[in-house]
Amino acid sequence: MTTRRIIPAILAVLCLTLASSAQAQKTRIYNTIKTKLAAGKQVVGATITTSDPDIYCAVASSGFDFLWIEMQHSPLTYEQVARMIWACKDAPAIPFIRVPDATEGDIQKAMDIGALGIIIPMVDDVRKAQNAVTFAKYPPIGRRSQGGGQYGRIWGRDYRQTINENLMVVAMIENPAGVAIADKIAAIPGVDVVFVASNDLGSFSGYERDDPRYMKLVNEIKDKTLAAGKYLAGPSAWRDREGYLFFQGPSEGNLISSGAKVELAPAQGRKDVATGDEGR
């Protein structure tokens, strides 16, 4: 090949590379949880277990950063959750779904109905966390298939081109086996957040929360997660703990109860207001 042909070819490749780089930099980010965490801000999500769209919308518009839609420990169906998300698709709280397990079917359905966050319970195996990323993301990163769903009508026509950058995967560590490989879980590309499941960690370890052995497990997850450059998560009661940015907040039942106590407090001469401690 002559010099006259080589130089234009090189220039063409450079132009394509620059164009691709510029396009990547212009990827539209609509997951506000991602931008808030990147800015070092704390985010709190209310836990949703009911299928009532009115309650969902009330919580979604009340100031929480995201909604922890509970499909592991509730009878919620994907059809019900789809209706809830659609009913309040313009609410500021971003929908995250805790799926029952990291199966391709569960994650595909959660993505199709509009979730921007996938929460994976009981991660004590590296493959489980890897599968979550693989099933949730489109090629070339993952193997999510294209199909029907309301995701495009909620997040825009460029959803297919932007969702891989907007999706967040949260891995929950709930037992000592998960603690032992927390560094490997946190190191997986596509796992954004590692959640310390405070209640279950105590249940599976057999340690009370004031037991030094319990705190050793908690701190081991913390150290490994932060060392991997990932975000650390826990129950909302831990908002004053250093290093934690992502929190599971009270359920809608606890919020209603707290609201009622606030409303009735003046008449009853009470000043205390209690909230639920999640983080299962």
Residue 247 catalytic? no
User: Which is the catalytic residue, given 13, 17, 63, 73?
Assistant: 73
**Within 10 Å of residue 271's Cβ, how many Cβ atoms?**
7
**Within 10 Å of residue 93's Cβ, how many Cβ atoms?**
25
Backbone angles phi, psi at 112, to 5 degrees: -65, -30
Q: Angle formed by the axes of helices 126-136 and 104-112, to 10°? A: 40
Alpha helices in 189-251 (DSSP H): 198-205, 212-227
Report how far residue 194's alpha carbon sits from residue 231's, in angstroms, rounded to the nearest whole number. 6
| DSSP summary character for residue 102 | S
**Within 10 Å of residue 135's Cβ, how many Cβ atoms?**
23
User: Which residues are tagged catalytic?
Assistant: 73
